Amino acid sequence: MADKPMTGQAFFVLTALADGPRHGYGIVGEVAGLSGGRVRLKIGSLYGVLDRLSAEGLIEPDREEAHDGRLRRYYRLTRDGRGALAEEAELRAATARVVRSRLGLAAEAAG
């Protein structure tokens, strides 16, 4: 079975959880901030991603907190999730280095 690459949305959600647990809307806000407003997760997309990451063992529920009479569920990265995020970040950084080099941006920045 072919391995599947991580989607952009999954990458942003994992990144949003990298510095601590967050609840659903907290993740939406953090992803919007991280992406400079380019990625605005709708509820169907968010829970599609959370469901998949949870099934793959990359995130897990952290705790539930009552807020204005509603229960907020917080999610956190698992050890596998941390590893997967680090690996993906490294891959993206390596790709970005190649792109910058091919566009001549690295030389310009150095110069």
Residues that bind another protein (CB under 8 A): 1-7, 23-25, 28, 42-48, 50-52, 55-58, 67-73, 84, 87-88, 91, 95
The residue (of 28 and 77) whose beta carbon lies closer to another protein is 28
Indicate the residue type of 84. Answer: A
Instruction: In angstroms, give the least distance from the CB of 29 to another protein.
Output: 9
Contact 17, 75 (CB under 8 A): yes
Distance in Å, CB of 16 to another protein, minimum: 13
Is residue 30 within a helix (H) or strand (E), and if so which, with residue range? helix 24-34
Q: Which is nearer to another protein, 38 or 104 (CB)?
A: 38
The CB-of-108 to another protein minimum distance in angstroms stands at: 26
Residue listed under structure tokens 């490294």: 90
Complex with another protein: residue 99 or 107, whichever CB lies closer? 99
Q: Are the C-beta atoms of residues 10 and 17 closer than 8 Å to each other?
A: no
Sorted by sequence, the CB contacts under 8 Å of residue 44 that are 6+ apart come out as none
